[in-house]
Amino acid sequence: MPLALYALTAGAFGIGVTEFVIMGLLLEVSSDLGVSIAAAGLLISGYALGVVVGAPVMTILTRRWPRKTVLLVLMAIFTLGNAACAIAPDYATLMAARVVTAFAHGTFFGVGSVVATGLVSPDRRASAIAIMFTGLTVANILGVPFGTWLGQTLGWRATFWAVTLVGIVAMAVIAAFVPRGVSAPEDGDWRSDLAVLARPPVLLGLLTTVLGFGGMFAVFTYIAPILTRITGFADAAVSPILLVFGAGLIAGNLIGGRLADRRLVPSMLGSLLALAIVMALMTFALHDRIAMVAFVGLLGAAAFATVPPLQMWVLEKATGAGQSLASSFNIAAFNLGNALGAWLGGFVIDRGPGLEAVTWVAALVPLSAMLIALLALRLDASSKPTPATVAARAGD
C-alpha cells in the first residue's frame, strides 16, 4: 500500500480522537465550565450533528477543488477547531468550536475514501478504505485512553492542545505524501450530484449503513453498565476490556476490507449477519465474565467488518458524478446510526425490558439492515436491462 494511504490514516486518527475523547473528560469539563454532566454530554451530540450537517455542505462547497487541497483545508479546519476548543472560555464557545471541528469529519472520510480507492488497483479498493479507517480504530485503542489520561492529569484543555498537534502533523504528512493529481475534482452541477443520492440503490445503501452501525452502538453505548451491573466486573476492569474491543475493531476492519475486495455483496451481507449473531449470542454470555470478554472483542470485530463493504457499496452505487458526496453522506449515516443506536439502547433500558435485553434487541437492527440491502439488490437487478432487451434495442 502506498505511503499516501497512511497519511490519510494519520488524519483519521486525529479525527477519531477528537470525536470520542470527550467521553472520558465529561466530569472535568462540567466542573471547569460550571455546567451539568448532562450538558457536557451534549458536546458529543453537538459534534455528531456537526458531522451530519457538515458532510454534505463541505463536500458541495469543495467539489471543484483538487482532492489534495480539500484534504489539507479540512485538516486546517480540524486543527484550528481543536485549538479553539482548548482556549474556549465558556460552554457556548466550546460547543461552537466542537461543531465547527465536526464539519471537517464527514467530508474528510468521504473524500478520503475516494482518494484512497484512487491510490490502489481496483481489486484492492476496499482494503485501501480499511487502512484509512484503521486510524479511527487506533484512535479508540490508544488515542482516546491517552487523551483521557492527559486531560485528567493536566486538565481537559491539554488534551485538545495535544490533538491540535496531531492535526498539524497530519497536515504535514498529507502535504508530503498524497499526490496532487489523485482523484480529479468532479465536474457538473451539485444538483446533479444530489440527484445521484436520490437513486433508490444509493438511498437504500445509506439506510443500510444507518441500521448496520446503529445496532452496534445500541450495545456499545451502554457496555460499561452491562459489564459492571450484569456481568459483575469492577469499574476499573472496564478500560482493559475495552482494549479487547479495540483490538477487535482493527482486526474486523482489515478482514472486512480483504473480504470486500474479493466479493463485495456477500461480504456486506455476511458481516451484517455476523454482527447480528454476535449480539444475539452475547445475551447468553452476560453472566459469564470470560465469555463476555471474548464477546466484547467479537463485537468490535463484527461491527467494523461491516465498515469497508458498506462504504464501498455506496461508492459503487454512486459511480460517476456525486461519488464524493455519496461517500460523505455515508459517513454521516454512520454517525446517525451512532445516535439512533444510543437512543434505542436507552429506550430499551428505560421503557422496555431493561438492560439485559439490549443485546438481543440490538441484534434485530443489523438483520433489518440485511433486508434493506437485499431490497436494494433486487431493485438494482430489476433496473438492469436483460439480454433480450439489449438485443431488441440493437434491432431498433
Domains and CATH numbers, the chain: 1-180 (1.20.1250.20), 187-385 (1.20.1250.20)
**How far is it, in rounded angstroms, from Cα 365 to Cα 248?**
20
The owner of cell 481496483 is 122
Whole-number pLDDT of residue 130? 79
Give residue 175's Cα distance to chain centre: 24
Mean model confidence pLDDT for the chain:
83
The owner of cell 478520503 is 112
Of 357, 43, 319, 78, whose CA–CA distance to 205 is shortest?
319
The owner of cell 449480539 is 279
Amino acid found at 219: V
Of 166, 96, 136, 19, whose CA–CA distance to 158 is shortest?
166
Structure confidence at residue 188 as a pLDDT band (50, 70, 90): low
Question: Residue 246: in which H helix or E strand, if any?
Answer: helix 238-262
| Residue 184: DSSP 8-state | P
Is there a contact between 276 and 367 (Cβ–Cβ < 8 Å)? yes
Structure confidence at residue 7 as a pLDDT band (50, 70, 90): confident
Is there a contact between 267 and 256 (Cβ–Cβ < 8 Å)? yes
Whole-number pLDDT of residue 10? 87
**How far is it, in rounded angstroms, from Cα 228 to Cα 26?**
20
More confident residue, 12 or 339: 12
Tens of pLDDT along 138-155? 887 778 778 878 888 899
Cβ burial of 217 (10 Å; 0-12, 13-18, 19+) is buried
Whole-number pLDDT of residue 64? 78
Give residue 278's Cα distance to chain centre: 20
pTM: 0.75
Q: Which three cell numbers stand for residue 201?
A: 440503490
Of 383, 212, 201, 193, whose CA–CA distance to 309 is shortest?
212
CA 236, 242, 243, 248: dihedral to nearest 10 degrees?
160
Whole-number pLDDT of residue 196? 67
**Region of residue 322 (phi > 0: left; psi between -120 and 50: alpha; otherwise: beta):** left
> Over 90: is that where the pLDDT of 288 sits?
yes
Contact partners, residue 231, CB within 8 Å, separation at least 6:
286, 287, 288, 289, 292
Whole-number pLDDT of residue 160? 94
Is there a contact between 99 and 47 (Cβ–Cβ < 8 Å)? yes
Of 49, 250, 282, 265, whose CA–CA distance to 142 is shortest?
250
